[in-house]
Amino acid sequence: MAKEKINEAPRSVEERLKTLYQLQTILSEKDRICNVRGELPKEVQDLENTITGLHTRVQRYSTEIADLESKRTDESNKIENKKMLIERYTAQLDNVRNNHEFDNLNKEIEYERLQITLGEKTIGEIDRTIMARRNDIQATEQEIADQTHILDEKKADLDKIIGETRSQEEALIEKAKSLEPLVDERTLTAFKRIRHNARNGLGIVMVDRSACGGCFNRIPPQKQIDIRTHKKVIVCEYCGRLLIDPELAQEAIDELK
């Protein structure tokens, strides 16, 4: 197919319809290739998102552990200080001048010991939480490993399928791009919009036994005549698809080969 990109001269309805039908044929083929890939690209994307989420979770656990460890250090330091205080008070017990001082020092020592017990209890709780978070990290990392394994397999499948079809798809995209300038912008935009909204990706369809080849609703006789004469761009009044008569469609296909 040797065609120049001619935007300056307005092309006839017939020419534009043919080009649109060629474009449709090419895009349908591209759609078919994408369907072969099926759900794989989405599955790969979902898995990648899941794994990213799991990494974030590990990060959060690690931050929590770091906070807990810092709290633990504070708590340990406090206990060490209290132990020093107790030592000091105990030494002072030898030099007390009266019972009152003796009782006061013993009360202080008792108080600090109680504080140490509480501090040790807190450290115990911190240690248990740290342990739990470390287990969480381990479990999450196992999950990451499992999911990554599945991801790698799916990616390999996808790469294989893409590899097999890439050049084919690129050629189709290239061809579609070269055809687009041959259609006026208004018709092209309408075509693209219909194609996008239609479940089967068809923006232009052949008339099939007096009915729209897209939605199979009957086409009124006057419109059928208009379609056959190629003087106007006719759309299906039910589904909005552009309509082309089978002979012109065949011509378009033949030119494409």
Binding site for Zn ion (CB under 5 A): 212, 214-215, 236, 238-239
Q: What are phi and psi of 217, to 5 degrees?
A: -80, 150
Q: Least distance in Å: CB of 220 to Zn ion?
A: 12
DSSP letter, residue 213: T
**For residue 196, what are the β-bridge partners?**
none
Closer Cβ to Zn ion, 212 or 248, answer by number = 212
CA dihedral for 85, 86, 87, 89, sign (positive or negative): positive
Show Cβ contacts of residue 206 under 8 Å, excluding neighbours closer than 6 positions: 213, 243, 244, 245, 246, 249
Closer Cβ to Zn ion, 23 or 236, answer by number = 236
What is the C-alpha to C-alpha distance for residues 249 and 123, in angstroms, rounded to an integer?
81
Radius of gyration of the chain measured on its C-alpha atoms: 39
Closer Cβ to Zn ion, 151 or 244, answer by number = 244
Closer Cβ to Zn ion, 54 or 212, answer by number = 212
Q: Least distance in Å: CB of 18 to Zn ion?
A: 20
What is the C-alpha to C-alpha distance for residues 249 and 231, in angstroms, rounded to an integer?
15
Instruction: Give Cα 4 to chain centroid, integer Å.
Output: 40
Closer Cβ to Zn ion, 41 or 240, answer by number = 240
What is the C-alpha to C-alpha distance for residues 119 and 75, in angstroms, rounded to an integer?
6
Q: Least distance in Å: CB of 164 to Zn ion?
A: 35
Show Cβ contacts of residue 20 under 8 Å, excluding neighbours closer than 6 positions: 183, 187, 188, 191, 203, 204, 242, 244
Place of tokens 């897209």: 214
Q: Least distance in Å: CB of 237 to Zn ion?
A: 8
Q: Least distance in Å: CB of 169 to Zn ion?
A: 28
Closer Cβ to Zn ion, 54 or 239, answer by number = 239
Q: Least distance in Å: CB of 48 to Zn ion?
A: 40
Q: Least distance in Å: CB of 235 to Zn ion?
A: 8
Closer Cβ to Zn ion, 54 or 243, answer by number = 243
